[in-house]
Amino acid sequence: MSDQRNLIIGLDLSPKYTQICCFNYKTLEAESLCITKDKYLIPTALGVKNYSKDWVFGEEAVLCQEKNTGIFIDRLLDRVKKEEETEIFGTYLSAITLLEKFLRKCLQVVKTYYPNNSILKIVVTVKELQDTVITGVYQALKNLGIDKDRTLVQSHAQSYQYYALSQSKELWENDIGLFDFDEIGLTYHQIKINRTEKPYVVSLLEKDYRDPLSFEMLEKYKEGENLEYIFQNIARNVLHKQIVSTIYATGIGFDSSWADNVLKDLCTGRRVFKGQNLYAKGACFAAKELTENKSLNDFIFLGKEMIPVEITTQGSLQTGVAEVVLAKAFQPWYEVDTRMDFILEELNEIPILMTNLLRKESKQYLIPLHELMNRPNRTARIELRLKFYSQTTVVITVKDKGFGSFYPSSNRIWEETIEII
């Protein structure tokens, strides 16, 4: 039987643990995949056995360390971030190669559940976006035969938004809160929805409580009483005068029951859920939306990854002179990398129009091309590339490609850096 390309996967790639979800077309839910009986959390680690030199991952990798039966390799994301090489039995392997091996093992788990299906879309979610991590994940997946048109890397914050707003409407009737207690401590994230216009504008408030409630305190206060008191005060403070319909609690810091009494108290007037698969499920819901080109059409997501502007220019295409969109608003900055060829109407400059759709303000920038002024109009073909390097910084590069044998390329390149409005 030939593979059916219909698998929709969300994968939470965190420093300590990884989780996998697949979209179930019958239940219309994102379902977590068990690695072994009742175990959904995969330690984000690889191992190589001493004698057989076999590669293992997850719990088997941890056993290599505990039983001293092989090489243990953790910190996979940190290695990618720092572009480290790792020596394995005399051979140096890049961080991307290690990540590729780990992701291959993860996708083999999916294959055991769906042996006759292949990937339609996979969204990998990480705690924070960083250039080398984004590039590394894309490259590792490409090495596995999964090109960028079937992949997306997004932050935990985005996955939280996708998860929360994919639930029944009563759960996001007002704001939505999330307590995340991971290996670096407690943080709080509140989704705020502006319903005065459609589509709704969704923003995210973030507060850091890692100092008053760190992960190390779980070991220090094993009985949980002091932790409960600290968490209760934080929760009361952050929710004071806030209208919140639903609260989620996630992260390995909530894995035991020490916070259950506080979470139960928070149920007054709101719904409260605790679990470890929120980000993986959110990534899965994001993948489902992207396969349908919906991206939750009723919402505009704001956040530190999203660009608030639309960027356009004018150029001669095969259909004539037209306004051309170079970058759409409200997409992650790291996904914007546009390349287009134009025949110029005016040779001395390229107009770039930047429109902030939230503030409804526009500003025009002109990129001068003085060296082309000696050519007649419509005899200069250029390649324009627009790429964001942060949420607020875009670089526009223009390359002279000439005009056949009449006007050969000067090989001239112009570059303009713009801070967006």
Dump pLDDT digits (tens) for 13-41: 999 999 999 999 999 999 999 887 668 99
Helix (H, G, I), strand (E, B) or coil at 296: coil
Q: What is the DSSP letter of 231?
A: H
Instruction: Return d(Cα 350, Cα 15) in angstroms, integer.
Output: 45
Residues with pLDDT less than 50, the chain: 1
309-419 placed in CATH 2.60.34: yes
Residue 123's DSSP bridge partners are 10, 152
Instruction: Return d(Cα 402, Cα 380) in angstroms, integer.
Output: 6
pTM > 0.75: yes
Element at 6 (helix H, strand E): strand 4-13
Largest CA distance in the chain: 82
Fold observed for domain 4-155? Nucleotidyltransferase; domain 5 (3.30.420)
Q: What is the pLDDT of residue 377?
A: 65
Within the chain, all domains assigned CATH 3.30.420.40 are found at 4-155
305 and 155 Cβ atoms separated by less than 8 Å: yes
Instruction: Read off the tokens for 241.
Output: 């005068």
Q: What is the pLDDT of residue 1?
A: 43
Q: What is the pLDDT of residue 376?
A: 66
Q: What is the pLDDT of residue 319?
A: 59
Q: What is the pLDDT of residue 270?
A: 94
Backbone angles phi, psi at 132, to 5 degrees: -70, -30
Q: What is the pLDDT of residue 405?
A: 67
Q: Which residue is it, tokens 């928070």? A: 266
Q: How many helices (H) and strands (E) does the chain have?
A: 9, 25
Q: In what order do the strands lie in the sheet with 299-301?
A: 271-274, 244-250, 175-182, 185-194, 200-209, 299-301
Within the chain, all domains assigned CATH 2.60.34 are found at 309-419
With 0-12 CB in 10 A as exposed, 13-18 as middle and 19+ as buried, what is 28?
Answer: exposed
CATH architecture for the domain at 159-278: 2-Layer Sandwich (3.30)
